[in-house]
């Protein structure tokens, strides 16, 4: 007979879907850097979040990168596995 923890262990390694990551990242960028970002502006590739915005906004995001990632990781702890950098 299998235990419940054996059944639930396969769900432990799930990562959040891209839409949840995009909305959480957009909200974190808006809150920390003050740059208006929508979910359409965010794309992911190889653990890096690319944000499509102006060069001035990108500089502001780059300056506040640590705080943005910290906010994202507190909102979605599993995002640490999916996003490791913002560009």
Looking at residue 86, what is its pLDDT?
93
Confidence of residue 8 (pLDDT cuts 50, 70, 90): confident
Looking at residue 14, what is its pLDDT?
63
Looking at residue 16, what is its pLDDT?
64
* CB distance 78 to 30 below 8 Å: no
Tokens representing residue 65 in the block? 């990168």
- Antiparallel, parallel or unpaired: β 42-45 and 48-51: antiparallel
Render pLDDT for 21-57 as a digit per residue (tens, 0 to 9). 999 999 999 999 999 999 999 999 888 999 999 999 9
Q: How far is 62 from 60, CA to CA, in rounded Å? A: 5
């Amino acid at each position: 007979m299998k235990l419940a923890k054996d059944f639930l262990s396969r769900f432990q390694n799930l990562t959040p879907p891209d839409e949840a990551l995009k909305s959480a990242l957009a909200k974190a960028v808006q809150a920390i850097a003050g740059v208006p970002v929508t979910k359409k502006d965010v794309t992911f590739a190889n653990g890096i979040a690319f944000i499509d915005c102006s060069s001035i906004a990108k500089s502001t995001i780059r300056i506040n990168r640590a705080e943005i990632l910290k906010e994202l990781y507190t909102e979605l702890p599993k995002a640490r596995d999916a996003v490791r950098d913002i560009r």
